[in-house]
A = this chain, B = another copy of it.
Amino acid sequence: MTAPLSTLTLPSGDVELRRAELADLPAIVGLLANDPLGSSRETEVEEADLQPYLDAFRAVDDDPAQLLVVVSAEHDVVGTMQLSFIPGLARGGALRAQIEGVRVDEPYRSQGLGGAMFEWAIAEAQRRGCALVQLTTDKARTDAHRFYERLGFIASHEGLKLELRPSR
């Protein structure tokens, strides 16, 4: 087990935020699938279907600009998110942190875990010298918008997506 990056204190007790490791992969995919929007995007995962996720995990884990974290309570993974650190010329050559794939397990919602995860992510972005934290959230997630706005995010942009058909 990797050393925790942070201990988050919730009403129900302390949980640990740490870098994801390979053994966490089925739990992370489970969290991604167990979501009103995710269930249409992630199919039920049989052992044999894990290969694309394994490949993606390796790509994320090998890239120093990516940081996939999980939150564990006892031995259960109860939350996950991915931070991407993206260099660029805009905004005075600002490094930006992007957050994707945020999921909190059902029993841990409305307990402050999401907020604590974001406070940690924003502090980590600041520590790495980012000038901006950004994310997109599906317009169907109206609760999420209020959550992000309470954290100080401004919904200044449209988030546009174009799905590509596999060419192979």
A-side residues, CB < 8 A to B, are: 25, 28-29, 32, 38, 41-43, 52-57, 59-60, 63, 65-66, 68, 82, 84, 86-95, 98, 100-101, 122, 125-127, 129-139, 145, 148-149, 151-164, 166-168
- Which of chain B's residues has its CB closest to A52's CB? B93
Total copies of the chain: 2
**Given A159-B157, A166-B131, A84 and B86 contact (CB-CB distance below 8 Å):** yes
Task: Choose from B28, B86, B133, B138 the contact partner of A161 (Cβ within 8 Å).
Answer: B133
User: Which residues of B sit under 8 angstroms from A53, Cβ to Cβ?
Assistant: 89, 92-93
A56 and B87 in contact, given A63-B65, A168-B129 (Cβ under 8 angstroms): yes
Q: Knowing A56-B93, A89-B82, say if A157 contacts B160 (CB, 8 Å).
A: yes
Interface of A is mostly: mixed
Contacts of A166 in B (CB 8 A): 131
Known: A87-B66, A92-B53, A129-B168. A136 touches B157 (CB 8 A): yes
A87 and B87 CA atoms in complex are apart in Å by 16
**Chain B residue with the shortest CB-CB distance to A130:** B164
Q: Which residues of B contact A29 (CB under 8 A)?
A: 89
Contacts of A153 in B (CB 8 A): 160-162
**Across the interface, do B136 and A159 meet the contact criterion of CB distance under 8 Å?**
yes
Q: List, in ascending order, chain B residues with CB within 8 A of A164's CB.
A: 122, 125-126, 130-133
Which listed residue, B38, B90, B155, B161, touches A134 by the CB 8 Å rule?
B161
Interface pair A154/B158, CB less than 8 Å apart: no
Which one of B60, B133, B145 contacts A162 once the chains associate, using CB atoms below 8 Å? B133
